[in-house]
Amino acid sequence: MAKKSIAPSTSASKPTSGSVKARDIATQRKILTLAEEIVRRSLGGREPIVQIPTRTKSNTIWNKKKGILEMGDATAERPLFDLKTAKQFMQTMLHASTIKDLIEAQKTSSLRGVFYKAKHTVAGTKENTFDTQDESDPILEDLEVALGALREELHVFAENRGSMVGNITIVDKGDEIDCRRMGSGGYALPSIVEPDIIQFKKCEAKFVLHVEKGTVWNRFNEDRFWEKNNCILTHGAGQPPRGCRRLLQRLNQELKLPIICVLDNDPWGHYIYSVIKQGSISLAFESTRLAIPDAKFLGIRAKDFRECGLDDAVKIDLTDNDIKRAKEIAAYPWFEAHKGWQKEINALLSNGFKMEVESLITKDISYVSETYVPERLRAKDWLE
């Protein structure tokens, strides 16, 4: 297990009002550059155009050395004088303007809030700028990649999901939060966890145990697992949202804490791990800020049915879709080149059934937190 260290030289971790401003000024400048270029083209008698990097699978590259998914160089033009793109051009400008307003007001908004902010009926017509949020979210992602700024830097938040307890004190907007004293509820993870909002203070923890579900998290918290094993305990209520992933990455990079995952033994659990580790295709442009290449998968493993001596009743038959997904995941480049993962996915397929973390309850209510995870940790028995 890596040594704890509070990386004192990480300036990003220091709460200075200067750093807030610096980040925002940089984003502002990017928006103004975008706008000025359009004005310049217009005044010069040329057609206004925005260049949008392409967020497709074909423009996603697996960077083996870094161990993350990255976006390639392909871009698409979005000209104003084209019936196919004129509306999107207008929508891009509207959202850029909203973001400028948000930054100036030093406020943040949700995806839905940004959608509403720009939604209005164009004067003298019955045409809306946006009809549904489905049109709005991709335009925001376009802006993220076009500006090279994370959604968080655009002052836009996603859902709040997930909780944290454990041997760490953090500072959230100036409030010191002792995660060792958060009772049964825990600290609710916010969506924006950038260093100007959240700073790490005192941390004795030697690793982070990340579990899939809140109900499993409750079991570990009730058994004071984080206290007995000197760690931090998190969950992301299923596929962890960006705030949770980014916080895990910061704990990993800045405090050098290993991230150890306890997820279901099914393709969905494997996919959650894959996203935590390598990033996802749709957010490939953000992998450097979200992916954790050395994240570990402790379980549940296909071998556990036999190793833990579980009852037949915990088996849940794989569906056709599960089998299809398992094969797709096995073909991901980072799993394809990994003997351990090929073996793991094959074992799932040859088992013919999946298992949830909760299936360990059939042994004993605290088997997972007091026997299974501690034993695997001691043996360093995990996949990575």
Question: Is there a catalytic annotation at residue 372?
Answer: no
Specify the DSSP class assigned to residue 182: -
- Both tokens of 251, joined, read 């704990």
Q: Which amino acid is at 319?
A: T
* Number of residues near a second copy (by CB under 8 A): 63
| Minimum separation from the CB atom of position 168 to a second copy (A) | 13
d(CA 358, CA 370): 14
Residues 6+ apart with CB under 8 A from 214: 162, 163, 235, 237
Phi, psi of 351 (to 5 degrees): -55, -45
Q: Minimal CA–CA distance to 367: which of 311, 316, 296?
A: 311
| Rg (alpha carbons) of the chain, rounded to whole number | 23
Find the binder of a second copy among 27, 88, 167, 191 (CB under 8 A).
191
The answer to the question of residue 27 lying near a second copy (CB under 8 A) is no
**CB-nearer residue toward a second copy: 28 or 110:** 110
Find the binder of a second copy among 37, 100, 116, 137 (CB under 8 A).
116
| Minimum separation from the CB atom of position 193 to a second copy (A) | 8
Query: How many CA atoms, within 13 angstroms, populate the side-chain half-sphere of residue 230?
Result: 9
Specify the DSSP class assigned to residue 266: S
Q: Minimal CA–CA distance to 147: which of 87, 211, 99, 210?
A: 99
| Minimum separation from the CB atom of position 98 to a second copy (A) | 9
Going residue by residue from 324 to 363, which x/- string records binding to a second copy, judged by CB under 8 A?
--------------------------------x-xx-xx-
Stretch that binds a second copy, among 13-21, 27-35, 38-46, 158-166 (CB under 8 A): 158-166
**CB-nearer residue toward a second copy: 9 or 125:** 125
State the virtual CA torsion across 4, 10, 12, 15 in degrees, nearest 10: 80
| Minimum separation from the CB atom of position 118 to a second copy (A) | 9
- Determine contact, residues 284/60, Cβ cutoff 8 Å: yes
Which residues, in sequence order, are bridge partners of residue 171? 176, 199
The answer to the question of residue 308 lying near a second copy (CB under 8 A) is no
**CB-nearer residue toward a second copy: 329 or 360:** 360
Stretch that binds a second copy, among 62-70, 153-161, 204-212, 374-382 (CB under 8 A): 153-161
The answer to the question of residue 366 lying near a second copy (CB under 8 A) is yes
Residue 13: C-alpha distances to residues 6, 109, 327 (Å): 10, 24, 41
The answer to the question of residue 87 lying near a second copy (CB under 8 A) is no
Q: Which of 116, 332, 367, 372 is catalytic?
A: 116
Provide the 3-class DSSP secondary structure of residue 76: strand
Which residues belong to the active site? 116
The residue ranges that bind a second copy (CB under 8 A) are: 101-102, 105, 107-113, 115-117, 119-121, 128-130, 157, 159-161, 163, 171-177, 181-192, 197-198, 214-215, 217-219, 222-223, 311-314, 356, 358-359, 361-362, 365-366
